[in-house]
Every structure is written in C-alpha cells, then in structure tokens.
C-alpha cells in the first residue's frame, strides 16, 4: 500500500538527529559514592542515562547538558564539566 503523505512510518526515528551538539557542559559520573538509587535515570528528560550496579553514564550523543541529574543526585556523585571540542 502506498504511504500517505505526511506519515512518518519509522518509530523512534528522532534518533537520527544527535542533540548532543547543543551541549556546552557535560555530566561526569564519578562512580564513587553512587548508591544505585537510579534517580538520575528517572529524572533525565531525554531518557539517555543508562547503566546498573553503581556504574551509570549518559549517552553523550543525545545528552543536552541540562544538569538536572547533577542537581538531583542525592550524594553529589555527578558533576558538570565544561566541554572543549
């Protein structure tokens, strides 16, 4: 069947666009005092913090550098670092 105009057939295709280029600061996970609470995973507006067993990381292809994870981490185990590219 022909695809009607204006229809996007591929779900989740926004991934083709990498929003990471918007960022000026990136979150660095120190993986030091982490308690596995997973609050950083929960509060990321873009859903790009992954990991388990006290080892978490942000997918820097998409992280926009908003800093919510840093603000909300209860043990201050994440910090924002100015990025030089």
The backbone torsions φ and ψ at residue 4, rounded to the nearest 5 degrees and listed phi first, read -65, 155
Answer for which of 34, 62, 73, 77 binds another protein (CB under 8 A) is: 62
Answer for which of 1, 2, 4, 10 binds another protein (CB under 8 A) is: 10
Measured from the CB of residue 20, what is the shortest distance to another protein in angstroms?
9
Retrieve residue 74's tokens.
Answer: 């209860």
At which residue do the structure tokens 């120190």 appear? 30
Alpha-carbon distances, residue 68 vs 1, 31, 55, 83 (angstroms): 45, 17, 18, 17
Q: How many residues bind another protein (CB under 8 A)?
A: 34
Question: Footprint of another protein on this chain (CB under 8 A)?
Answer: 6, 8, 10-19, 22-23, 41-48, 50, 57, 59, 62, 64-68, 70-72
């Amino acid at each position: 069947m022909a695809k009607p105009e204006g229809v996007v057939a591929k779900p989740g295709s926004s991934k083709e666009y990498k929003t990471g280029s918007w960022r000026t600061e990136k979150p660095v996970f120190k993986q030091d005092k982490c308690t596995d609470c997973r609050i950083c995973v929960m509060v990321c507006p873009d859903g790009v913090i992954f990991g388990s067993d006290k080892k978490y990381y942000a997918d820097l292809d998409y992280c926009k550098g908003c800093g919510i994870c840093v603000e909300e981490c209860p043990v201050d185990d994440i910090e924002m670092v100015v990025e030089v590219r």
